[in-house]
Amino acid sequence: MSSPAFSLKKLHTFAIETRAEKIVYAETPQEILAAWRECHQRNLPFLLLGEGSNVLFLEAFSGVIVVNRIKGIAITESIDCWHLEVGAGENWHGLVTYTLQQNIAGLENLALIPGCVGSSPIQNIGAYGVEIKDICEWVEILELESGQIKRLTAAECQFGYRDSIFKHRLQHGYAIVSVGFSLPKQWQPVMSYGDLTKMDAATVTPQQIFDAVCHMRRSKLPDPALTGNAGSFFKNPVITAEQAASLLATFPAAPHYPQSNGDVKLAAGWLIDQCQLKGYRLGGAAVHQQQALVLINAEEASAADVVALAHEIRQRVGKKFNVWLEPEVRFIGADGEKNAVEVIS
C-alpha cells in the first residue's frame, strides 16, 4: 500500500500534521455506508470523524476517514417539551445558538463546546452542571453490517460520566446519524458552577447564562482556530468517599463535588495546577497557561510530544495525590482507536 496521501491537519483541532489513505465527506447515511463497504471489501480501517475536536492522531491513519456532515434541525412540540431532531453533522455550538434564537432554552450551559452533535452522546458531553444524558431523548444509529437505522432510547445509551454505550458495545460497526433532544418548556436554570452561582435565579434569562458560559470558556480556554488543542484533555477523576476524605485531610482546599452514588468528583485542572505544570512544555506541546486541563499544540507539536506531556502530567499528579488521571481525548492509531490510558502509562 502506498503511504497515506491526504492531510488531516485541518480535520482535527489539535492541528498536528498527519495523513490518511482516503477522506470521504458524507452528507447522508447511505454515503457513510458506501464508504464502510469499500473499506470492508479492501480490508482497510474505517474511522468516522465529526469535527475532530476530541481526537489525537498518534500516527498516519492507514484507512478511510469518513467526515460526518449529515445536517438538519427539525423542531416539534408536545404539551410540556420542545423536541429536537438534529443531524449528526450539525455543529454543536451552532445548535445551541439556533435554539436560543427560536426562544427554546435548555442547552445554554453547553455553549461553546466544540464538535458535532453526533459526537455529543458518545462522550456524554457536559459543562456547568448539565450533561447530554439530562436532555437526550434518543439516538439514531446506522448499523453498518445490515444497513439498517435503529433508534436507541436515552436509557439504552447507558450514559455515564464522559461515557456511553458508544464507547463500548457500539463502538465499532455503528455510526450515529441523528440525535433527539427533549427540552422542557418550563425552564429551570442550572447555576451550580463558576460565575453562574452569582446570578439571581428569580430573574436570570437563558441568554444571560449563555453569555456567562461563553465568557467563562473564552477567558480560560484557547481558541482551536488559533492554538491547536482538543479542549479538556483529561477527565475529572471520580474517587470513593474514603479516598476523598483521605485526600481532603491533606489538601482541604481541593475542589470536590459529591456524586449521587456517594463517590466524589475532583477537578483535574486543579490537581495539575498544584503540580506547578501550567505553561510546562515538552517539545512542541505545552500545558495551557490559563487552564491546566488543556494541552496545546504550542509550536508544531508531534503526537509523540503530546503523549510524552500527558504521561508526565499523569505521573506527577499520581505521585502527589495518588489519583491517576485518564484522558478524555480519544487516541487514534494507524488502524483505529487505542486505549489512551495504556498509551500514556
pLDDT for res 4: 58
How buried is 215 (Cβ within 10 angstroms: 0-12 exposed, 13-18 middle, 19+ buried)?
middle
pLDDT for res 1: 38
Q: Which residues contact 343 (CB under 8 A, 6 or more apart)?
A: 58, 307, 331
Residue numbers in the chain where pLDDT is lower than 70:
1-4
The residue with cell 452542571 is 129
Is 333 in contact with 62 (CB distance < 8 Å)? no
Q: Which residues contact 320 (CB under 8 A, 6 or more apart)?
A: 271, 274, 275
Q: Look at residues 78, 48, 74, 67 and name the one whose alpha carbon lies nearest to residue 174.
A: 48
Question: What is the pTM assigned to this prediction?
Answer: 0.88
Indicate the length of the chain as a whole number.
345
**C-alpha grid cell for residue 326?**
485518564
- Over residues 47-88, the pLDDT tens digits come to 999 999 999 999 999 999 999 999 999 999 999 999 999 999
- Reduced to 3 states, what is the DSSP secondary structure of residue 271? helix
- Over residues 90-117, the pLDDT tens digits come to 999 999 999 999 999 999 999 999 899 9
What amino acid positions are annotated as catalytic residues?
162, 232, 328
pLDDT for res 3: 47
**C-alpha grid cell for residue 87?**
443531524
